[in-house]
Amino acid sequence: MIAIYKREMTSYFTTPIGYVFVAIFLAISGALFAATTLFEMTNETGQYFSYMLFMYVLLVPLLTMKSFSEERKTRTEQLLLTAPVSLVGMVMAKFLAAMTLFVGCQGLGALALFILGRYSAVKVGVVLASVLGLLLVGMAFITVGLFVSALTENQLAAAVGTVGILLAFLLISFVNQYINVYWIRFVLNCLSMWSRFQNFLQGTLDLAAIFYYLSVAAVFLFLTVRIYDKRRYN
């Protein structure tokens, strides 16, 4: 598992994808930060974090699209699946590698918040809660991306599919208000990643939301393992 993790990490930076991801991530994060706080002469960070969340819909697929699809296409997965490594180990290694890069970028992007703190009295609690919320949502997104990547051997299909599913997870909240049937609205609301994120923006550590994001991540990781398990039987 450690071997696969190490290989994934080096692979991000021996192929352009790691650099492209870091560059785009930091550019978007920086631009949004400047536009929503510095130029607006405000230390309200809610808008910045909300926009970033939407940007994840485009950024996360960059990170995950090739995780499994590439291995399947080049048949290198045969090496991994015939080596004494468990499926869970293999999936976790890829997940952790994507998480490492993601958290790293998020950390670099968050440096901008110190600028804000230098010149104004930011609400530290709110900012920390928001960052934690972003990380949790990002983690859930990454597992969705990995899952879709395991479904296909086409990287482009994996990326587009991931964008679609992630958008659906976010847009549920906005579509929801037009639905008149209560129970449908209730169920959809339960699935919404967006509405739960709002609590973090207010500075609340919503345990239910934390548990929700962790569960989503666990479910999609489990499904990814199951896909590999099932493929052996087909």
The yes or no reply on residue 180 touching other proteins (CB under 8 A) is no
Stretch near other proteins under the rule CB under 8 A, chosen from 57-65, 152-160, 161-169, 226-234 = 226-234
Residue closer to other proteins, measured from CB, 42 or 76? 76
Distance between CA atoms of residues 186 and 197, nearest Å: 17
Distance between CA atoms of residues 62 and 115, nearest Å: 28
Distance between CA atoms of residues 110 and 193, nearest Å: 22
CB neighbours of 76 closer than 8 A, spacing ≥ 6? 70
Stretch near other proteins under the rule CB under 8 A, chosen from 77-85, 161-169, 180-188, 212-220 = 77-85
Query: How many residues contact other proteins, by CB under 8 A?
Result: 25
Residue closer to other proteins, measured from CB, 136 or 225? 225
Distance between CA atoms of residues 32 and 184, nearest Å: 34
Residue closer to other proteins, measured from CB, 4 or 59? 4
How is residue 217 written in tokens? 């991540």
Chain Cα centroid distance, residue 110: 16
The yes or no reply on residue 75 touching other proteins (CB under 8 A) is yes
**Binding region for other proteins (CB under 8 A):** 2-4, 6-7, 10-11, 14-15, 74-86, 232-234
